[in-house]
Amino acid sequence: MARCFVTRPLPGGSLDRLAAEHEVDLWPQHLPPPPEALREHAARADGLLCLLTDRVDADLIAACPRLRVISNFAVGCDNVDLAAVRARVIALGYTPDVLTETTADLAVALILAIARRLPEGMAAVRAGQWQRWDPGWMLGSDVHGATLGIVGLGRIGRAVAHRARGFDMEVLHTSRRGGVPLEDLLAGADFVSLHCPLTPQTRHLIAAPQLQAMKPTAYLINTARGGVVDQAALETALREGWIAGAALDVTEPEPLPTDHPLLGAPNLIVLPHVGSATRATRARMADLAVDNLLAGLAGRPLPREYGAP
C-alpha cells in the first residue's frame, strides 16, 4: 500500500476508489495548500494528485524522495517542472479529452457574451437603466457570418471550430501543424480564440504588437492559459481602443487580485477559470486523475501520460 497526497477534495466518488487501495492524505480545504504544507505532505508521498494551482517545481520534487507518480488534475502540465520529473523518471499523468466539449462550450459562450454585451445588459436591468426599448441602445456585434481565428487547433480548438460552423462563421486557424500565419489570422479575424498550451514559446504570444495587428472591431477570447496573453498590453489595448473587447476565463495570476489594473479596463469579461466546470466533466476528470495515479503506483502505463504520443 502506497501513500498518496491529494491536494483538494474532488467531485464524485473517485477518491473512494483510491482509498480502497492506498493510504490517502487529503488536504481538506478547497483552497490550495500553502507551499510549506504542500512540501510537508508531498515529502511523505509515493503518489501526488495535484491541481493546476499547485506549483510542483524542482525544489518540491527534490524534497519528495518516495515520489513515483504525479497525477495532474488539468488538461496541461505547465505547473509542473517537466525537466525535474524526467530526471527522476517520475510518471506524469494529466486529464485531457474529458473536458474538451465542455471547454469548447464555454469559449463559444464567451464569444456570444462579449459580442452581444450580455454582462452589461444584465447590469443595466439590475441598475434600473432599462426604461424603454431604444433602437440605438446596447448595440453589439454579430457572431453569425463573422470570421473566427483559432490559435491552437488541438482538441478544444477543433471543437470550437465545429461549433463555429453552426453560426456560419468562417474559420481561420494557426498551429504548429499548419494553417495561416498568426499575423494574417489576427488581421482577418473578428474573434480571436486562444487554445494553445502555455510553453516558453507561447508565453505572451499575444502582446502589444499582436493586439495592434487585430481589427479595432475584433474581440480576444482566452480559455487557454493566462500567460499566453500579456495582460498589461491587453489593458492598454482595451483602454486605447486597439480592439473592441476581451473575454477571459484564465488570467495570470489566478485568482486575479480584485485591485488588479486589468479589471478596470472597459469591455472586458473575466471568469474564474470555469472552462471545465460542469458536474459531469469535473467528475470524469477526477476519475481519470485517480486512474492515472493507480496505474502509476501499480507500475502500469498511465491511461493518459503527459508527453506520450
Is the per-residue pLDDT at 129 higher than 90?
Answer: yes
Mean pLDDT of 282-302: 98
Residue 170 lies in a domain: yes
| Burial tier of 36 (Cβ tally within 10 Å: 0-12, 13-18, 19+) | exposed
Residue-level pLDDT at 131:
87
> What is the average per-residue pLDDT within 129-144?
94
CB 153 within 8 A of CB 147: no
Q: What is the mean pLDDT of residues 140-157?
A: 98
Supply the pLDDT for residue 253. Answer: 94
**Residue 82 belongs to a domain with what CATH number?**
3.40.50.720
In terms of domains, do 20 and 122 share one?
A: no
Q: Are residues 175 and 71 in the same domain?
A: no
- Please tell me the distance from the alpha carbon of residue 188 to that of residue 215, in angstroms, as a whole number: 8
pLDDT per residue over 214-255, tens digit each?
999 999 999 999 999 999 999 999 999 999 999 999 999 999
Name the burial class of residue 196, with classes exposed (0-12), middle (13-18) and buried (19+) by CB atoms within 10 angstroms of its CB. Answer: buried
In the predicted structure, residue 8 carries a pLDDT above the cut 90: yes
Report the mean per-residue pLDDT for the chain.
Answer: 97
Answer left, alpha or beta for residue 207, where phi above 0 means left and psi between -120 and 50 means alpha. beta
Judged on CB neighbours under 10 Å (0-12, 13-18, 19+), 201 is exposed
The residue ranges of DSSP E strands in the chain, in sequence order, are 3-6, 23-26, 47-51, 69-73, 91-93, 147-151, 170-175, 178-179, 191-194, 219-222, 245-248, 268-270
At 14-43, the pLDDT tens digits run 999 999 999 999 999 999 999 999 999 999
Q: Output the nine-digit C-alpha cell for 215.
A: 481589427
Mean pLDDT of 246-270: 97
Same domain (yes/no): 245, 155: yes
User: Among 265, 255, 189, which residue's Cα sits nearest to residue 226?
Assistant: 255
Helix, strand or coil, per DSSP, at residue 179: strand
Would residue 304 count as lying in a domain?
Answer: no
Give yes or no for residue 309 having a pLDDT over 70.
no
Cα angle 125, 167, 270; round to 5: 45
Nearest Cα to Cα of residue 171 among 84, 104, 254, 266: 104
Q: Are residues 120 and 213 in the same domain?
A: yes
User: What pTM, to 2 d.p., does this model score?
Assistant: 0.93
Tell me the pLDDT tens digit for each residue of 150-162: 999 999 999 999 9
Copy the grid coordinates of residue 63.
Answer: 524534497
Residue 80 DSSP one-character state? B
Quote the pLDDT of residue 308.
Answer: 79
pLDDT, tens digit (0-9, with 9 covering 90-100), for 175-193: 988 999 999 999 999 999 9
pLDDT in tens, 62-120: 999 999 999 999 999 999 999 999 999 999 999 999 999 999 999 999 999 999 999 99
Same domain, 11 and 63: yes
What is the count of structural domains for the chain?
2
Residue 17's CB is within 10 A of a number of other CB atoms, namely: 16
Which pLDDT band, with edges at 50, 70 and 90, does 261 fall under? very high
- Identify the domain containing residue 193 by its residue range: 100-270
Residues 173 and 56 in one domain: no
So which residues are the catalytic ones?
225, 254, 273
